[in-house]
Structure 1
Amino acid sequence: MIATPREGSGPQYLDERVALVTGSSAGIGLAVAQKLAADGASVVVNSRSQERADAAAAAVGGDRVIALAADVGDPASVQELVDRTVESFGRLDILVNNAGQSNAVPTTELAVEDWQRVLQLNLTGPFLCAQAAGRVMLAAGAGVIINMGSIWGHAGLPGRVAYASTKHAITGMTKVLASEWGPHGLRVLSVDPGYTETELVSQLLASGAVDEKSILARTPSRRLAQPSEIAEMVAFMASDRARFVNGSSVLVDGGWTAYGGW
């Protein structure tokens, strides 16, 4: 099924591709969905809530975008999400595992239920989605899976034991899947953002829960990322322009991880 170019869009690097972006009702996920659509892809946006997914699809715009509600931590829900994507567009070329949640609790106070909830969404969810999408892509002999990592997959921070553990694990899962599926035409990689100016982060900054001055002083580029900048990297990695990039973790953090001072 051939996608029609969108008015005002850039080069159609992803023409005829079908992309599924989990957790794409807001923030980085929504920006990714918008960028993939602008580059020519047909896009499935996703949220646990059908209402939020519908609003995201409207924000992306165009007649090649559909909204599907699904809980990515539930195997049956994930399988239905992938099946409905293929039924709607006839194929699945790109999976962006973006759904996730943060958690900031001292380790001695972290409830097992909260630990398990973060692991279920941030790690089990990407595994289930990659597994279901991987079966489709392996049968087709081509595909790209992009896992959304984090700077906390490369470093540690007090109170982030659940979140950082999942993001370190995402790096390992990315490498294993790239090694296992690369010979069959699939690429698997992660895009790892630093602090990004999403609505959630803006609320944390405004409340004082996150110290903006400390973040900017620690970031050589001296600013937060914009969601669109993360989306640009995802779109590039999803396209044939990055066809020899496989198994890599690509940091988009303004030099935060590279900086070794204090």
Structure 2
Amino acid sequence: MSLLTGKVVLVVGASSGIGAEAARVFAADGASVMLVARNEEPLAKLAAELSDHDVAYTTGDITSASDVDAFVSATVSRFGRLDGAFNNAAMGGGGRLDSVSEEDFDRIMAVNVKGTWLCLRAEVRAMESQGSGSIVNVSSIGGLRGSSGMGAYQATKHAVIGLTRTAAHDFGPLGIRVNVIAPGPTETPMLDELRRTIPGGVEARIAATPLRKAGTGAEVGSTAAFLLSDRASHLSGVVLPVDGGFTA
């Protein structure tokens, strides 16, 4: 039996990068998967690629409470339950703290922090009646330490860890586990953007990584699959770096 056989997993932010790769891993591990992102076209392509598996998709904006409630409800309507959720949707943002505009700061907070909270809230409500569930949020090694030029982004990723730890306390008595993954440099479109905005920064981090390579979305997805599975049944509130040893 595969790791996630019989599980229904919602993947938020599934259009590309870590989210899309994680969805591929979850489907291969036997899960029924609901794909969610703002744009339909990449979701439709991914669903077609995974047509041999039990995969559906719907669109939604995680900064909208009504959208979040709608895609969680759509998951339960389509598959009958919600066993796991992978909250991966996020945006990046560079620049020294005094150069970030108020508009940009508000936007990244709305997506990365408020969006994660809205997803948590709706997912827990769907899982509570079952008395079980597992939620994995995505932070970053930027949520574990500071560095120059990405202060707004790093603040949001620290906040995601705080939300996760609090959620583990709030929802553990309901049988719902909440953990967080903190990826290091991972080959995604966001990493390519960092290469443009912070020249040399990505390569410096990879050089400082014991495994001497960036991670892949599939490696992050495989870790999430474990946390979503029953094999991680006594893990909650864990902050798990997937960073090739960078934070060791």
Give the total of aligned pairs.
248
Q: Does 1:48 align with 2:38?
A: yes
Q: Quick one: structure 1 residues 213 and 81, their matched pair in 2 at CA, closer, same or farther if it must change by over 3 Å?
A: closer
Separation in structure 2 between the aligned mates of residue 207 and residue 146 of structure 1, nearest angstrom: 29
In the TM superposition, 1:110-121 aligns within 5 A as 110-121=100-111
Separation in structure 2 between the aligned mates of residue 61 and residue 30 of structure 1, nearest angstrom: 14
Which stretch shows the higher mean deviation, 58-67 or 83-92? 58-67
Structure 2 match to 1:87? 77
Separation in structure 2 between the aligned mates of residue 89 and residue 249 of structure 1, nearest angstrom: 29
| Aligned with residue 39 of structure 1, among 24, 29, 53 | 29
Structure 1 match to 2:19? 29
Which stretch shows the higher mean deviation, 139-148 or 201-210? 201-210
Q: Structure 1 runs of 4+ off > 4 angstroms?
A: none
In the TM superposition, 1:123-162 aligns within 5 A as 123-162=113-152
Q: Does 1:97 align with 2:87?
A: yes
Corresponding residue SS for 2:43: helix
Q: Is the 8 A contact 2:34 2:55 kept in 1?
A: yes
Q: Quick one: structure 1 residues 174 and 40, their matched pair in 2 at CA, closer, same or farther if it must change by over 3 Å?
A: same
| Aligned with residue 112 of structure 2, among 113, 122, 144 | 122
Aligned residues with identical type, % of pairs: 37
Q: Is the 8 A contact 1:20 1:95 kept in 2?
A: yes
CA positional deviation for 1:205: 3.7
RMSD value, Cα? 1.5
Separation in structure 1 between the aligned mates of residue 118 and residue 190 of structure 2, nearest angstrom: 26
CA positional deviation for 1:200: 3.6
Note the residue ranges of structure 2 that are not aligned, 5 or more in a row. none
Separation in structure 2 between the aligned mates of residue 176 and residue 153 of structure 1, nearest angstrom: 15
Q: Deviations over 1:36-60 (max 9, x none)?
A: 1111110011110112221222233
Specify the code of the residue in structure 2 equivalent to 1:144: S
- TM-score by structure 1 length? 0.90
Corresponding residue SS for 1:140: coil
CA positional deviation for 1:102: 0.6
| Aligned with residue 222 of structure 2, among 221, 232, 246 | 232
Specify the code of the residue in structure 1 equivalent to 2:155: S
Q: Is the 8 A contact 1:92 1:137 kept in 2?
A: yes
Note the residue ranges of structure 1 that are not aligned, 5 or more in a row. 1-10
Q: Quick one: structure 1 residues 207 and 61, their matched pair in 2 at CA, closer, same or farther if it must change by over 3 Å?
A: farther
Separation in structure 2 between the aligned mates of residue 21 and residue 210 of structure 1, nearest angstrom: 32
Q: Is the 8 A contact 1:194 1:225 kept in 2?
A: yes
CA positional deviation for 1:221: 1.1
